[in-house]
Structure 1
Amino acid sequence: MGVRAIVFDFFGTLTDPAAEAGRRESFTATAAALGVPADRFWQAMGASFPDRITGRYGDTRATLRRIARECGTDPAESDLDAAVRAQQAGAVLVRPPRPGVLDLLDRLRAAGYRLGLISDCSSELCEAWPETPYGPRIDAAVFSWQQGYRKPDLRLYEAVSARLGVPAAECWYVGDGGSREHDGARRAGMRPVLVTNAAYPDAAALRSDPDPYTPDLTIPDLDALPGLIET
């Protein structure tokens, strides 16, 4: 079957892969607001990642309160206010658009393709999504934090397919290969496409839970996607 919808991964696929290297630094101001050593805060955030991205820590404020307590601090409400602001500002720093990606999304929509998203993410992205430049360009966004499960759980792929109104067999899944996402897409019946991020040689080391499955469709950057679709 032909392609009617394209489902994207978010971090490292729609976002600038180079920005991911600044994630640890983006937590520094949050740790300071909570009165927690930066290294301890980074370790706690990393250890809690599987639970945070499936909603088990709650929203950003609840998450930061819990992380602070795990680090031995009970922050005042005013400190939490400052920490939430710092965390949200830090989250903006790690999600700038990949160069040219907003124009690409506009072109794909103008060409009649339905656009979807599946992201393993914590609360910050979900809370800010409508105000991001991506929000108005994506027809159906599915977030692990809201769904309660993460890639490669087939329910994520089923959810985005249903929201797009397009059968999985007519969806392509495009991502940089973290979280075993392509194997999940394949098992869900979608056509997976790997973005190798050839211009970002350090990006692969930053992927979470790399995918052992390599799709037969591979592109070095997202700007090659329209040509791949045409062929």
Structure 2
Amino acid sequence: MIKAVIFDMYETLITQYGGPVYFRAQMAADAGIDPMLFDALWIPSENDRTIGKQTLEETIEQILRQTGKYSEETFQTIISGRKAVKADCFCHLHPEIIPMLQALKEKKIKIGLISNCYSEEAVLIRESQLFSYFDQSCLSYELGMKKPDPGIFLKCMEGLGVRAGECLYIGDGGSHELEAADIMGMTALQARWYIKEVPELDIRKEKFEQLETPMAVLDKI
């Protein structure tokens, strides 16, 4: 019997591709830094940014100073641009996301969140319209561990008061999340409603059943 549904956040409950993007290329352009050099300085910080050892602000300041491009104006342009676009993600929800979450609540199904996220994202997730639906949230930036570490899945289940066999795990499939959930004994399902709209993201994981719409989650309860 399913007692809980645990969701991924990005490209599952929200998408980064519903509006303007502000990724490495855009930050590099605003900084006046060669994109390859920016990547070489940004990418190695990803793990520390994901597990709470480094903030967006610290990373950007470090990159700007290392490249001789630091100014308060440039720093603020990048920080504000990044945060604005991340906030905008919550303005482009699939129309079935809120009804699906409400239906789970009405069915007395517990709702969990496990998200690999950075400092700027953790704040926005907590401030978002979605956050009140979660009975347990596990944000990598706050916990110091990230998917596919079994510890973050165990933490979520503990908070929900459920066993793995009583859980559905719903995610787009990044960070080896579906494989990790499956190994732990959850029923893992691939969310395709966002990624099927972005060709470079639309990778079918044939081992896992795929859901084409958010409301299809309810059919698995």
TM-score (norm 2): 0.83
For 2:6, give the aligned amino acid: V
Aligned counterpart in structure 2 of residue 133 of structure 1, from 107, 123, 129: 129
Instruction: Output the CA distance in 2 between the equivalents of 1:148 and 1:211.
Output: 29
For 1:219, give the aligned amino acid: L
Mapped contact 1:15–1:98 kept (Cα < 8 A): yes
Residue 53 of structure 2 aligns with which residue?
A: 56
Aligned counterpart in structure 1 of residue 207 of structure 2, from 193, 210, 214: 214
Aligned counterpart in structure 2 of residue 119 of structure 1, from 115, 120, 127: 115
Question: Following TM superposition, by how much is the alpha carbon of 1:22 offset from its aligned partner in structure 2, in angstroms?
Answer: 2.8
- Higher mean C-alpha displacement, 192-201 vs 115-124: 192-201
Unmatched segments (≥5 aa) in structure 2 = none
Mapped contact 1:91–1:125 kept (Cα < 8 A): yes
For 2:162, give the aligned amino acid: V
Residue 144 of structure 2 aligns with which residue?
A: 148
User: Pairwise CA RMSD of aligned residues?
Assistant: 2.9
Where do 1:65-104 residues align within 5 Å? 65-76=61-72, 79-95=74-90, 96-104=92-100
Instruction: Output the CA distance in 2 between the equivalents of 1:191 and 1:167.
Output: 11
Identity %: 24
For 2:83, give the aligned amino acid: Q
Equivalent residues, number: 219
Change (3 A) 1:111 1:71: farther
> SS where residue 125 of structure 1 aligns?
helix
For 2:117, give the aligned amino acid: C
Question: Following TM superposition, by how much is the alpha carbon of 1:136 offset from its aligned partner in structure 2, in angstroms?
Answer: 1.0
After superposing on structure 2, the runs of 4+ consecutive aligned residues of structure 1 that deviate more than 6 Å are 210-213
Residue 170 of structure 1 aligns with which residue?
A: 166
TM-score (norm 1): 0.80
Mapped contact 2:87–2:124 kept (Cα < 8 A): no
Unmatched segments (≥5 aa) in structure 1 = none
Instruction: Output the CA distance in 2 between the equivalents of 1:97 and 1:103.
Output: 11
Question: Following TM superposition, by how much is the alpha carbon of 1:198 offset from its aligned partner in structure 2, in angstroms?
Answer: 7.9
Residue 8 of structure 1 aligns with which residue?
A: 7
Instruction: Output the CA distance in 2 between the equivalents of 1:221 and 1:7.
Output: 16
Residue 28 of structure 1 aligns with which residue?
A: 26
Mapped contact 2:50–2:140 kept (Cα < 8 A): yes
Change (3 A) 1:146 1:200: same
Question: Following TM superposition, by how much is the alpha carbon of 1:162 offset from its aligned partner in structure 2, in angstroms?
Answer: 1.0
Question: Following TM superposition, by how much is the alpha carbon of 1:160 offset from its aligned partner in structure 2, in angstroms?
Answer: 0.6
1:77-114 superposed Cα distances (whole Å, 9 cap, x missing partner): x6544543222112123443222201211111121011
> SS where residue 89 of structure 1 aligns?
helix
For 2:82, give the aligned amino acid: Q
